[in-house]
Amino acid sequence: MTVRTRFAPSPTGFLHIGGARTALFSWAYAKKHGGDFILRIEDTDVARSTPEAVQAILDGMQWLGLDYDEGPFYQMQRMDRYKQVIQKMLDEGSAYYCYCSKEELDALRESQMQQGLKPRYDGCWRPEAGKVLPSPPQDIPPVIRFKNPQSGHVVWHDLVKGEISIANQELDDLIIARADGTPTYNFCVVVDDWEMGITQVIRGDDHVNNTPRQINMLMALGATIPQYAHLSMILGSDGQKLSKRHGAVSVMQYDEDGYLPEAVLNYLARLGWSHGDDEIFSKQQFCEWFDLDHITPSAAQFNTEKLNWLNAHYIKQADNEYLVSDITKRLNKLNVVVSAQSNLSAVIDLYKERVSTLNELAANIAYFYQKPVMDQAAAEKHLTVDIKPVIATLVELLKGVDWQAEPIHQVINEVVAQYQLKFPKVAMPLRVMLTGIAQSPSIDQVMALLGKDEVLARIDSALN
RNA sequence: GUCCCCAUCGUCUAGAGGCCUAGGACACCUCCCUUUCACGGAGGCGACCGGGGUUCGAAUCCCCGUGGGGACGCCA
pLDDT value for A245: 67
pLDDT tens by residue, chain A, 464 residues: 899 999 999 999 999 999 999 999 999 999 999 999 999 999 999 899 999 999 999 999 999 999 999 989 999 999 999 999 999 999 999 999 999 988 889 888 888 888 878 889 998 999 998 888 888 888 889 999 999 999 999 999 999 999 999 999 999 999 999 999 999 999 999 999 999 999 999 999 999 999 999 999 999 999 999 999 999 999 988 888 877 767 778 999 999 999 999 999 999 999 999 999 999 999 999 999 999 999 999 999 999 999 999 999 999 999 999 999 999 999 999 999 888 778 999 999 999 999 999 999 999 999 999 999 989 888 888 888 888 889 999 999 989 889 999 999 999 999 998 998 889 999 999 999 999 999 999 999 999 999 999 999 999 988 87
The ipTM, to two decimals, is: 0.95
Residue A278: how many other CB atoms lie within 10 Å: 12
Residue type, A262: E
Cross-strand partners of A164:
A156
CB count within 10 Å of CB A94 equals: 18
Q: Is the CB of A413 under 7 A from strand B?
A: no
pTM listed for this prediction = 0.94
**Cβ of residue A353 near strand B, that is under 7 Å?**
yes
Distance from residue A276 (CA) to nucleotide B10 (C1'), in Å?
A: 22
**pLDDT at residue A55 in the model:** 96
Cβ of A106 near strand B (under 7 Å)? The reply is: no
Nucleotides of B under 7 A from a protein CB: 1-8, 10-16, 23-27, 35-40, 68-76
What sign results for the dihedral spanned by CA atoms A387, A390, A391, A392? positive
Is the CB of residue A204 less than 8 Å from the CB of residue A270?
A: no
Res A230: pLDDT = 97
In Å, what is the CA distance from A154 to each residue of A146, A170, A207, A214? 16, 10, 15, 10
